[in-house]
Amino acid sequence: EAEVAQSPRYKITEKSQAVAFWCDPISGHATLYWYRQILGQGPELLVQFQDESVVDDSQLPKDRFSAERLKGVDSTLKIQPAELGDSAMYLCASSLETTGVEQYFGPGTRLTVT
């Protein structure tokens, strides 16, 4: 069964350092999402891609966060510099463009900023 891959699964970094997360969606899925889930809360959308184009990044803190999906396949989310409040689970999801209804989630990257 095809799955969304994410790496690393866990990351510990010091504040002010740079950190990057990688996501490989299910093959053929044109839409890719990055969500942030703070402990005890539901996930919140950071950025949505359609192929290589950003569809929605209205909730992405652009002063420190960046996201790219250069070839419309895998994607990287970067934080520079990391802050204590960035500690969270970062979830990647993908969906087929034609339906887009069902999103498939990866296992997530648990970030701890010290």
Partner 1 sequence: AQSVTQLGSHVSVSEGALVLLRCNYSSSVPPYLFWYVQYPNQGLQLLLKYTSAATLVKGINGFEAEFKKSETSFHLTKPSAHMSDAAEYFCAVSDPGRRALTFGSGTRLQVQP
The DSSP symbol for 99 reads: T
Terminal Cα-to-Cα distance of the chain (whole angstroms): 37
Which candidate, 45, 39, 37, places its Cα nearest to that of 103? Answer: 45
Task: Please tell me whether residue 75 binds partner 1 under the rule CB under 8 A.
Answer: no
- From the list 75, 95, 111, 113, which residue makes contact with partner 1 (rule: CB under 8 A)? 95
* Beta carbon of residue 84, minimum distance to partner 1 (angstroms, whole number): 20
3-state secondary structure (DSSP) of residue 85: helix
Task: Please tell me whether residue 25 binds partner 1 under the rule CB under 8 A.
Answer: no
Find the angle CA(59)-CA(96)-CA(49) to the nearest 5 degrees.
30
- From the list 1, 27, 40, 71, which residue makes contact with partner 1 (rule: CB under 8 A)? 40
State which residue, 18 or 38, has the beta carbon closest to partner 1: 38
- From the list 14, 44, 51, 83, which residue makes contact with partner 1 (rule: CB under 8 A)? 44
Asked if 102 contacts 111 with a C-beta cutoff of 8 angstroms, the reply is no
- Site residues (vs partner 1, CB under 8 A): 4, 6, 31, 33, 35, 40-45, 48, 56, 89, 91, 93, 95, 100-108, 110
